[in-house]
Amino acid sequence: MKDGFAWEEGIAKGAAMAAWRLPHCAEAFLVQDFSGGTRLQEGWNLDELSSGFLAAPFIGLPYFLRADSLSSFTLQARELPTPYVAPPENQSKKTEFMGWVAEAIQAIKKGPLQKVVLSRTDEQELPASFDVMTALEELGAAYPTAFVCALSIPALGGVWMCATPEILVEQNAEGIFRTISLAGTQSGVDADGFAIAPSQARWSTKEIEEQAFVSRYIIDCFKMIRLREYIEIGPKTISTGNLLHLKTEYIVDTKAMDFPQLPGLMLGLLHPTSAVCGTPKQEAVDFISATESHDRSMYSGYLGPVNLGKATHLFVNLRTVEIKENHAVFYAGCGITEDSNPAKEWQETQMKCQTLQRVLMQ
C-alpha cells in the first residue's frame, strides 16, 4: 500500500497522523500534521477549526490534527482471517470486573445513579508480522459498516486503532445533521458460528432500558437548545461484525432551520454520552473514576475528520486498541443497570474485545 510508507515516514518524523475510512466506503484518507498536533484550549469552537482531524479522550480537551498533508487511497480487499480462537479467560481480571459490576448494581439501587458504563482492558502481545496499515485494511474488510481508524499523536505515544459503529455528531455538505443512540449488545453469531439476522434478535428488558437511557439523553439535549424539529428513526437492531446492537437515529436539516452551529453545540452537550458514561452523567463519571483501575485515555472519547469537504464525521472511540511497540491493550465496556448480571456483563466485554482481536491477533 502506497500510504504504508507515508505512515512509517510520518512516525519517524514525529508527525501526528490519522488514517481512516468512513462506513460503507472504499476510499480511505491519511492526514498528517507536521507540527505533531495541537491540544485545544478551553473555549475552542468546532466551527472555527480548519480542515483536519479531531481526537478527544474520555475526559479532557481534544487534540486537533491540522491537514498539512491530505491524501486518499483505497483499502484493498483482503481475505478475512481464519476464525479467532480466544485465549483462556484471565481469572483475576474477571473477578475484579465482576466485583465492579456488583458494586455498581448496589449503587444504582441506592440512587441517584441509574446506569453506569464500566470498562476493562485485555493485554496481549501482537504477532511479529503486525503492521498498522495492513491491520487497517483488515479491519476495513472485516467491518464494512464501521468507522475504522489508526491514530498516532506524539504526545500520546503509540498508536490507537478502532472499528466503531457509533456516530457522535455528523453533518454532511448539505447540512444534514445526524447522531445516534447505540446501546444494548448481544452476540451476532449463534452457537454453531452462523450469523444471526437482526430480525431474529430478541432483546431483554435490561438491554431495552439501557438503550432508552441514551435516547432520552439525546432528546434532553435537544430540549436544552430548544430544538423541536428532528426526525427519529428506531430503535432497530443492527449488525456490526460479531455483535448486534439497538440503534435509534436522529436527523436534523440545519440549513432548513438556519442552525449551522448545531454540531458544535451537540458535541459539547453529548460528550461523554450515557452510552459510554451513564446517567446521571456526573454521578456516573464519579463512580467510574473511583472504581476503574485503568486510565481510559482515548477509549470512549471521540475522533474523526472535521471540516473536510464541508463535512464533519465524529465517532465515539469504541472497539479500541492501544498499540505500543509489540504490545496491545484492548478496551471494552458495558452498561450496568439494576437488572445487570455480573457474569453476563463480563461475557459482553469478552465479545467486544474479540471484535478487534479476531482480526489483529492473527
pLDDT digits (tens, 9 = 90+) for 97-111: 999 999 999 999 999
Percentage of residues in the chain having pLDDT higher than 70:
97
* Whether residue 14 has pLDDT greater than 90: yes
* Whether residue 161 has pLDDT greater than 90: yes
SS3 category, 246: strand
Count of C-beta atoms within a 10 Å radius of residue 103: 17
Mean pLDDT of 153-173: 96
Look at residues 317, 301, 304, 314 and name the one whose alpha carbon lies nearest to residue 58.
301
Segment 339-346 long-range contacts (CB within 8 Å, at least 24 positions apart): 339/204, 339/205, 339/206, 339/209, 340/101, 340/104, 340/105, 340/206, 342/97, 342/98, 342/99, 342/101, 342/102, 342/105, 343/98, 345/97, 345/98, 345/101, 345/118, 346/94, 346/97, 346/98, 346/101
Would 173 be classed as within a structural domain? yes
Mean pLDDT of 63-78: 90
Task: Identify the helix (H) or strand (E) that includes residue 182.
Answer: strand 176-187
| Amino acid of residue 303 | L
- How many independent structural domains does the chain possess? 1
User: Residue 119 corresponds to which cell in the numbers above?
Assistant: 470498562
pLDDT band for position 22 (cuts 50, 70, 90): very high
Look at residues 302, 300, 359 and name the one whose alpha carbon lies nearest to residue 328.
359
* Whether residue 114 has pLDDT greater than 60: yes
Q: What is the dihedral of CA 358, 359, 361, 362, to 10 degrees?
A: 100
What mean pLDDT value characterizes the chain? 93
User: Residue 165 corresponds to which cell in the numbers above?
Assistant: 459503529
Mean pLDDT of 43-58: 97
Comparing 59-63, 77-81, 108-112, 165-169, the range with the smallest average pLDDT is: 77-81
Mean pLDDT of 208-227: 95
pLDDT band for position 2 (cuts 50, 70, 90): low
What pLDDT, on a 0 to 100 scale, did the predictor assign at position 4? Answer: 74
pTM: 0.95
Q: Is 144 exposed, middle or buried (0-12, 13-18, 19+ CB in 10 A)?
A: middle
Count of C-beta atoms within a 10 Å radius of residue 19: 29
Name every residue whose Cβ is closer than 8 Å to that of residue 20 and which is 6 or more positions away in sequence. Answer: 28, 29, 53, 147, 148, 149, 150, 304, 305
Would 104 be classed as within a structural domain? yes
Would 338 be classed as within a structural domain? yes
pLDDT greater at residue 217 or residue 83: 217
What pLDDT, on a 0 to 100 scale, did the predictor assign at position 177? Answer: 98
What pLDDT, on a 0 to 100 scale, did the predictor assign at position 88? Answer: 87
Would 85 be classed as within a structural domain? no
* Whether residue 93 has pLDDT greater than 90: yes
* Whether residue 78 has pLDDT greater than 80: no
Would 290 be classed as within a structural domain? yes
The domain of 153 spans 2-80+90-360
pLDDT band for position 80 (cuts 50, 70, 90): low
Task: List, as one string, the DSSP characters of 292-357.
Answer: -SS--TTTTSEEEEESBTTBEEEEE--SEEEEETTEEEEEEEEEE-TT--HHHHHHHHHHHHHHHH
303-326 pLDDT per residue, tens: 999 999 999 999 999 999 999 989
Give the CATH number, domain containing residue 288.
Answer: 3.60.120.10
Mean pLDDT of 210-215: 93
First to last CA, the chain: 20
DSSP conformational letter for 195: B
165-198 pLDDT per residue, tens: 999 999 999 999 999 999 988 988 888 778 899 9
pLDDT band for position 83 (cuts 50, 70, 90): low
What pLDDT, on a 0 to 100 scale, did the predictor assign at position 202? Answer: 92
